Amino acid sequence: MRGDALSAETPEVELERQLLDAKLSAPEPPARGYVSRAAQIEAARSSGRRFVGVTAPAGYGKSSLLAEWARRDSRPVAWVSLDRYDDDPAALLTLLAEAFARIEPGAARLPQRVTGHAAAVLGRGAPLLAAALRHAPHPFVLMLDDLQELRDPACHDVLSVVFAGIPTGSQLVAASRGEQQHLPRARADGDAFAITAHDLALDEAGARAIFAGTQVPLSPEDAVELVERTEGWPVGVVLAAAIAEEIGEAPKTVSGDDRYVADYLYRESLVTLPEHLQRFLRRTAVLDTISAPLCDAVLETHDAQSMLQELDASNVFIVPLDRSRGWYRYHALYREFLLGELRRLEPEALPELQSRAASWFELHGSPAMAIELLLGQPDERARTVRLIAATALPSYQAGQFATVQRWMTAIGDPAIEGYPPLAVLAGWVMALSGQATEAARWASVLERVSYEGRPDDGSASFESARAMLRSVMCPAGPAQALTDAEYACAAEPSWSPWRDQALLLLGEARLLIGDNAGAVAALGESAAIASTTGNAEGLILSTAELALLSMDDGRWDDATAHLTVALGAIDELHMDDYATAVLAFTQAARLALHRGDLVAVRRELTRAMRARPACTDAVPYLAVRTRLQLAKVHWAIADHSTAHHLLREIDDILLIRPDLGTLVDQVDDFRRFVAANEQQGEQGGPPLTPAELRLLPYLQTHLSVREIGDRLFVSRNTVSSELGSIYRKLGVSARSEAVERATQLGLLGSGL
């Protein structure tokens, strides 16, 4: 379970930086084939409305308008070019934070602060970014190009929370081919300004301005005819001008619908180019973004740089993505045409070109890009599976659970089952994200298969990897968990990246059989290795367990030292909502109670209670131990209602995993203590349940009860019932009040 960071000097990091710079840099407006949109820009800018939607089909110059606006506006502009790889709520949120950090020096650490567990994106990361926008010291413009690339409803949920933070005087400008989901409500509030295809269509003056860049005059009559036939479609006029420049007169045959016009005009413009340029354009269209080294690798040539320079100088359909002109992209509609030509003329070349591109990205440390290129290729299924096996866990740990889930869905369960090491990782991802049913399903699959090769995740063997997953899920009780952990410890050598994980599991299993001394030894060794190798989750859990054992023995100074390490890792890597963090928060509350610091007690309890939905019976001993420790601290501060509620949650877990060794005895001991010391006049009411905590972040959005139910895969009645319970527990009567109260309590936003 690694989250190692590459050093800033590696080629992999340099490539990632270049790609990120390209996405976050506003391009220059086209030097030719473009009519200024100054009037529309000024009308939108001076309207005072916070939300500007530029909505039109392909070819209307939406991106060019945004680029011109970015150049004209005196306010700082945070630019984001969206693509299909951003259709993941965690990745999207980090990208938005990166863009804002580039225009606000005080937000330099914001991208790291909004990252975290996928489940925390809406509840913690999005409100945190919204708050940063709301408190920006100066007005700004946030520009999002190609918003239609975001199809995941979870991404739009994140945007609805983030956009609420746009302050008066600042503006969000978004361009999309289709309806923008945030605009109807903003329009109802009188806070939206729309720029549509009608506003962007060219008139006769615009057509003549386009032709002014050619050597072919356009008479007023020809301009009227051209505008009528293209219906003012800007790209149609631009293509007509390009053809006119080649044939020496204005084309007379422009007619039909947009795609027909595009195909006709693109083909007419393409045939005038030399064959080597036509081939270059067709074959490089397989790439979302292009650079000379990437093109040379894909085409197996050495002259891509000169090709790109030639196209940049003469072709209006290639867009530079950075000021140094190292990266480009094709105009979206032009690329679609080129891909169609490739499929028509060289269908057999497409898989090989994508495979070479994937190899280049893999070689340069971007396996996720390689995976995306290979997903649709049945002949590359084995390679894709192995790449996912090597990439799934780091991607999950980076908060990109939706991306990992999409990869696994795309290749399908049979492919995962056919490569057992990936099935192990599927089980790990599900267990760590608290999806107990799915984790159990994969564990069951693994019991029926075998594998003799070396796994791609760095573990010593499939048998060792399977044993570790079985140990963490503890389906057969402590004895089997111990056997599995001992097997993994024997199999994983000192240099294995999974050595610390095996030792952590050994320590946990020894705790369940009552061997505390043996547990301390294993946990201590695990923590030492994890601190060196960068396994944050392992480091946090091992040191939190050591802190618990130290406090049980009255060694409070040792406990303080262990918690300093655990909490430091959580804060540095913003892992507040990970299951492994809950025990650390609980022990921090216990330490604060020992010191008599009730403010700190309540702060740490809030952090723990908020994150506990991630602790499920997928990792049963962690789920029970954290709740038992939470119940004890709540009882100690006279919050008996919450303590009772936590005991009921423990009962639910023990119904599924009843054999947890000494942990069951500890629960029974505390239950007897509670029965013997029950008093009237309990303080506090019941806490929000895990289900209610999962629903809470959606109250920040404008989703209906039915839509929230769809997001959470529960019925409308269930949402209504949980919503009423949330209102009662928070003492409010409306959604906005619930959000405000939850934010005050640290249940939403950046936490306490």
The tens digit of pLDDT for each residue in 385-415 reads 999 998 887 787 666 777 888 898 899 999 9
Higher local confidence (pLDDT), 500 or 261: 500
DSSP state of 24: T
Confirm if 577 and 116 have CB atoms less than 8 A apart. yes
pLDDT at position 64 over 70: yes
| 682, 686, 687, 689 alpha-carbon torsion, rounded to 10° | 150
Q: Could you tell me where in the chain the CATH 1.10.10.10 domains are found? A: 275-374, 690-744
Q: Which of 562, 576, 491, 577 is nearest to 530 (CA)?
A: 562
Please report, for residues 277, 292, 302, 383, 482, the alpha-carbon distance to residue 298 in angstroms, rounded to integers and kept in the order given.
Answer: 15, 10, 11, 18, 50
Q: How far apart are CA 173 and CA 290, in angstroms?
A: 26
Collapse the DSSP code of 722 into the 3-class scheme (helix H, G, I; strand E, B; otherwise coil) and give the result. helix
What residue type is assigned to position 162 of the chain? V
pLDDT at position 1 over 80: no
Q: Could you tell me where in the chain the CATH 1.25.40.10 domains are found? A: 462-668
Higher local confidence (pLDDT), 68 or 246: 68
3-state secondary structure 123-184: HHHHHHHHHHHHCCCCCCEEEEECHHHCCCHHHHHHHHHHHCCCCCCCEEEEEECCCCCCHH
Task: Write the CATH number of the domain with boundaries 275-374.
Answer: 1.10.10.10
Looking only at the bridges linking them, the beta strands covering 318-320 and 192-196 are unpaired
Q: How far is CA 478 from the centre of its chain?
A: 36
pLDDT digits (tens, 9 = 90+) for 555-614: 999 999 999 999 999 988 888 888 889 999 999 999 999 999 999 999 999 999 999 998
pLDDT at position 730 over 80: yes
Q: What angle do CA 306, 310, 311 make, to 5 degrees?
A: 120
Higher local confidence (pLDDT), 666 or 336: 666
Give the sign of the dihedral formed by CA 575, CA 551, CA 652, CA 482: positive
- Which tokens in the block code for residue 686? 């019941």
Average pLDDT, the chain: 88
Confirm if 472 and 440 have CB atoms less than 8 A apart. no
pLDDT digits (tens, 9 = 90+) for 604-650: 999 999 999 989 999 999 999 999 999 999 999 989 999 999 999 99
What average pLDDT does the segment 98-122 reach? 86
Note the pLDDT of residue 643. Answer: 94
Over the range 395-408, which residues count as b (16 or more CB within 10 Å of their CB) and which as e?
Answer: bbbbbbbbbbbbbb
Note the pLDDT of residue 702. Answer: 87
Note the pLDDT of residue 6. Answer: 30
Q: What angle do CA 294, 298, 299 make, to 5 degrees?
A: 115
Model confidence band, residue 12 (pLDDT cutoffs 50, 70, 90): low
Which segment of 238-252, 340-354, 483-497 scores lowest on mean pLDDT? 238-252
CATH 3.30.70.890 fits 36-200, yes or no: no
pLDDT at position 255 over 70: no
- If you compute the radius of gyration of the chain from its CA atoms, what whole number of angstroms results? 29
pLDDT digits (tens, 9 = 90+) for 188-226: 889 999 999 999 999 999 988 888 877 777 888 888 888
DSSP state of 457: T
Note the pLDDT of residue 273. Answer: 80
* Predicted TM-score of the model (pTM): 0.80
Which are the contacts of 181, defined by CB distance < 8 A and separation ≥ 6? 156, 159, 160
Model confidence band, residue 466 (pLDDT cutoffs 50, 70, 90): very high
Q: Which of 607, 566, 588 is nearest to 746 (CA)?
A: 607
pLDDT at position 183 over 50: yes
Sheet-wide strand order for 171-176: 77-81, 141-145, 171-176, 51-55, 192-196
Confirm if 114 and 97 have CB atoms less than 8 A apart. yes
Which segment of 2-6, 423-427, 463-467 scores lowest on mean pLDDT? 2-6
DSSP state of 51: E
Q: Could you tell me where in the chain the CATH 3.40.50.300 domains are found? A: 36-200
Task: Write the CATH number of the domain with boundaries 690-744.
Answer: 1.10.10.10
Q: Helices in 534-639 by DSSP H: which ranges?
A: 536-552, 556-573, 579-595, 598-611, 620-636
CATH 3.30.450.40 fits 462-668, yes or no: no
- Which tokens in the block code for residue 164? 């609420």
Residue 717: count of CB within 10 angstroms of its CB: 10
pLDDT at position 257 over 50: no
pLDDT at position 96 over 50: yes
Note the pLDDT of residue 256. Answer: 39
Q: How far apart are CA 663 and CA 661, in angstroms?
A: 5
